[in-house]
Amino acid sequence: DAGITQSPRYKITETGRQVTLMCHQTWSHSYMFWYRQDLGHGLRLIYYSAAADITDKGEVPDGYVVSRSKTENFPLTLESATRSQTSVYFCASTGQLRQPQHFGDGTRLSIL
Amino acid sequence: SQQGEEDPQALSIQEGENATMNCSYKTSINNLQWYRQNSGRGLVHLILIRSNEREKHSGRLRVTLDTSKKSSSLLITASRAADTASYFCATDLNAGGTSYGKLTFGQGTILTVHP
């Protein structure tokens, strides 16, 4: 089915570990986004991508790395996880900027 | 700082009543969007209103935009228990450069509709 899927849905890891969150969309949307959602902060943009091999920082990029070798995939990597990165992470996509974004169901990440 | 701020933070009503949520923002926008989030799920787009529009309707939803006051409201009429969710406004700034086309979300309003 067409859509945007995130995996895993839940992840528990330890500080200092590397963890990668996956995002896959089937619409061939050019633009993809990673957000984190925390109580008291709403959704904050971590990174975004305008096309394959084009990525840029958002509001809170520190500690995160992204790549986009294929249009449909946009993985987010925490290189050395910290407790402050415990959050719910959402991936989104859109075919055009200034149009609605389509969201995945999120990954709930806990860092112990 | 948050571009969009929703008010109230939480709203509890009975089925059949209307629910109004407000969003204020700080800088000039290209458009403002409203999203809904059910518990444990991703955000779902509801309505997009452009800066040159004052009101839009979609089914039981009515959105208004007052650019002079930098505010928007979302009205859900004849609410149902299934409308229980968090509602977020998101602003798309009227800016170029690195801000172009990116959304800034408010903290949301939690709506509870009692059967």
Distance from C-alpha of A85 to C-alpha of A62, rounded to nearest angstrom: 10
What are the tens digits of pLDDT across the range A6-65?
999 999 999 999 999 999 999 999 999 999 999 878 899 999 999 999 999 999 999 999
Distance from CA of A88 to the nearest CA of B (A): 10
Predicted local confidence at residue A3, as pLDDT = 94
User: DSSP state, B97?
Assistant: G
Full DSSP string of A43-105:
EEEEEEEEETTEEEE-SS-TTEEE--SSTTB--EEESS--GGG-EEEEEEEESSTTS--EE--
A99 CB neighbours in chain B (<8 A) are 48
pLDDT tens digits, one per residue of B87-115: 999 999 877 666 677 899 999 999 999 99
pLDDT in tens, B18-77: 999 999 999 899 999 999 999 999 999 999 999 999 999 999 999 999 999 999 999 999
pLDDT value of position B101: 74
Q: What is the pLDDT of residue B98?
A: 65
pLDDT of residue A108: 97
Of B30, B48, B106, the CB nearest to A100: B48
Q: At B97, which amino acid appears? A: G
- Per-residue confidence (pLDDT) for residue A72, from 0 to 100: 96
Say what the pLDDT of residue B1 is: 44
CB-closest option in B98, B100, B103 to A101: B103
